[in-house]
Chains A and B, each alone.
Chain A
Amino acid sequence: MTTLTAGISPVRAPAFAHSVLPDLATTRFKRRLDIEFSGSGSEYFRIWIVNLLLTVVTLGLYLPFAKARRLSYFYANTLIDGQALAFHGNPWRMFRGFLLLALLMLAYGVAGRFSPVAGLIAFGLLCAVWPALWRAGLQFRLSNTSWRGLPFSFRGDLAGAYRCMLPTYLPAMLMVVCQFLWAPAPGAQPEDPAFYALITFGPLLLLFGLLPWGLALIKRYQQGGYVYADQQATLSTSIGSFYSLALKGLLVTLVPVALAGVGAAVLIPLIKSGALGQTAAIVLLAGLGLLAYLLLLVIMMSYFSARMQNLVWCKTGSSALQFDSQLSARSLGWLNLKNWVLTAITLGLYRPFAAINTTQLRLSAMKVTVDADMDEWVTQAGAAQQDAAGEAAGDFFGIDMGL
């Protein structure tokens, strides 16, 4: 077992400080909370394999139960200031929601097979309900997570969930409408190629251009909805920093793309000249292509997810809580690479170990500072009364909190 300890925790302020110096007392409570993750790969492997067997034998019906067990294990091993998180989700309620969602997705899949129009309508409906479902999922996950016996909650409103999706939804809708109105008949050539290019690539560029803004709104809504006791979190990251992350990410991605280009420039003349055998050339090219693709994926995913975690959690805080995250994209990249290689070699058996290692790395980068006497914290009135309809719908989705 490995235990990771983030930071040191100063000795707690003496209790009498409260009565002697009431004005200074609040700052005397300021301290950093240790975050430890004590999960073990070999133990999670055993949980995972039994979960997998039950899931496959029940043709997927066991999934929500497996998920509840997995969350319980990860939560019970996430210790903040010596107290573990607890997952309270009722697997039977999750099961009900899961069945509904499975039917929904089945109907969606079937609709697409029978006719493109029905598929488009189904996709539109899914898009229309998605923000509501996403919010309900957040509500469910948060209200079923507790620490020190107090449940978290999610206070984002429904309109806000729709609002923060607009920068991604509007260009996507524009794209569909353009194609619907002006796309040439299948097989036919467009009458005016320049105009067709404009209506095809214009909305696409708009979508990519607005993506960082949309992401910023989504993260603000999400982080800003987290509530614990009387602490309502806010995310103070500027929209500009999401754009700068996107640009840096693009630059980082360009490196492997450029390398692949150089490789192709060297290899293709070599193959054309016939110096290599036909089969050898194809195998070499396919192998290198796959390698380049995996490398690109590792670099891109690791960079974006590490930097996103830092960007979001560094600026998340409430009146008495401040979060910090210093996750190194490089160490996440190496870990991802190692995880993928070992997962491939073991035909997937390494996956639970990979999950534990990743969680450990991500959590070890996190810090929380508190500036209040937590013993005085109590549940807020009304926090227990969750939006019942939303919670039921929230069983659909397990929303991850970017950790």
Chain B
Amino acid sequence: MDAPRLQLDYFDGRSARPQAAEIWLSDGHLHLSAGAEAQYAARDVRWPERQRHGQRQAQLPDGGLLSCADAAAWDSWAQGSGLRDTVTVRWMQSWRRVLLAMALLLAFLFACWRWGAPLAADLIVRALPSSAAHQIGSQSLDYLDQHWLKPSTVDTARREQIARRFERLVAASPADAPLRYQLHFRAGDKLLGPNAFALPGGEIVLTDALVELLHDSPDALQGVLAHELGHVQHQHGLRMALQAGLVGALAGLVVGDFSALLAGLPALLAQQAYSRDFEREADAQAHRMLRRAGLSPRVMLHFFERIAAIEARQTGVPALLSSHPATPERIAFFSQ
């Protein structure tokens, strides 16, 4: 049986003059007849991918080009000659598989967000030497001191008292104690308010406003510090930076070339979800440590009540995308 033949335009790669040519495939070779005859190993030819629109162009290894304006003629020739579509092209040609690809894409993105990024962050955090975390933390604290925080005005005796109490609390739960932690007292601005936060490497910062807020409830202050110690123990700061970075990079792959703003949005949403998970983990540690020290976790309720009172007074944007779990949920947790 004769191999099917196809008439098309041939350019030799040296002249812009089209030459009428005929091609056919046999024994794994592409035969070209355009005045003179030539043949090329079929696997050296760069074949066009089958699409509905556009010209079919096959690139020859010597710089020549086969150009077929009649896409349908090319396709039936290619099929008759036994040229197979690649798997990718077969997927792109079928709407059913395109829908499947969409479903797979969504599933993959979800899995990356739910398990992939936390797992990767976990591996990196474990591999990172503690000195690196310490360096990042102390640099961040220097930066905050320069731009945002002021020295504490709480008197030294009070600070030492709080620190000693906390040492005893930590000593009661050796399993939950990180290798290193350090309390820092600072005065913040009004925006920061009564607050405490943990930086990588074990730096725990608490504001004067927080000390003031819980001046009559030292156990609640210990609970808040235990919560921050939970962040230190589980290295939430580093994890958050890594997970957010990974999710951001993934979002960038999907929508990055369209808009940086659009890429930032899913990353932000994902980050808030991670943040709520971290807060729950830190709450669990605070709960445990208070129990072990013989204190009731219910002391934390003082803290929530007062924070709620401040939030009610405050006039600000309602937090639609909260970084913390809902307060009723946290109150219920510490009431147990």
Q: Which A residues have a C-beta under 8 Å from some C-beta of B?
A: 1, 38-40, 43, 45-47, 49-50, 52-57, 59-60, 63, 69, 72-73, 76-77, 79, 82-84, 86, 88, 146-151, 186-187, 229, 278-279, 282, 343, 348, 351, 374-379, 384
Chain B residue with minimal CB distance to A115?
B139
- Residue pair A47, B92 in contact (C-beta under 8 Å): yes
Which residues on the B side are within 8 Å of A88 (C-beta)? 46, 59
Whole-angstrom distance between the alpha carbons of A210 and B278 in the complex?
A: 49
Distance to closest chain A CB from B46 (angstroms): 8
Distance to closest chain A CB from B100 (angstroms): 9
Q: Which B residues have a C-beta under 8 Å from some C-beta of A?
A: 9, 11-18, 46, 48-49, 51-57, 59, 63-65, 67, 69, 88, 91-93, 95, 98, 101-102, 104-105, 108-109, 146-147, 249-250, 253-255, 258, 262, 315, 317-318
Which residues on the A side are within 8 Å of B49 (C-beta)? 69, 72-73
- Residue pair B146, A186 in contact (C-beta under 8 Å): yes
Which residues on the B side are within 8 Å of A146 (C-beta)? 65
Chain A residue with minimal CB distance to B91?
A50
- Residue pair A150, B16 in contact (C-beta under 8 Å): yes
Whole-angstrom distance between the alpha carbons of A82 and B54 in the complex?
A: 11
- Residue pair B108, A149 in contact (C-beta under 8 Å): no
Chain B residue with minimal CB distance to A187?
B146
Which residues on the B side are within 8 Å of A384 (C-beta)? 63
Whole-angstrom distance between the alpha carbons of A88 and B64 in the complex?
A: 11
Chain A residue with minimal CB distance to B17?
A375
- Residue pair A149, B64 in contact (C-beta under 8 Å): yes
Distance to closest chain A CB from B307 (angstroms): 20
Which residues on the B side are within 8 Å of A43 (C-beta)? 51-53
- Residue pair B64, A39 in contact (C-beta under 8 Å): no
Distance to closest chain B CB from A79 (angstroms): 7
Whole-angstrom distance between the alpha carbons of A43 and B95 in the complex?
A: 10
- Residue pair B14, A52 in contact (C-beta under 8 Å): no
Which residues on the A side are within 8 Å of B91 (C-beta)? 50
- Most B CB atoms within 10 A — which of A49, A55, A69, A282? A49
Whole-angstrom distance between the alpha carbons of A278 and B316 in the complex?
A: 9
- Residue pair B95, A73 in contact (C-beta under 8 Å): no
> When the two chains form the complex, which single residue of B12, B54, B88, B254 contacts A56, counting CB atoms closer than 8 Å?
B254
Whole-angstrom distance between the alpha carbons of A348 and B109 in the complex?
A: 15
> When the two chains form the complex, which single residue of A40, A55, A79, A348 contacts B55, counting CB atoms closer than 8 Å?
A79
Closest 3 CB pairs of A and B: A149-B11, A76-B54, A84-B55
Distance to closest chain A CB from B48 (angstroms): 7
Whole-angstrom distance between the alpha carbons of A296 and B322 in the complex?
A: 30
- Residue pair A348, B254 in contact (C-beta under 8 Å): yes
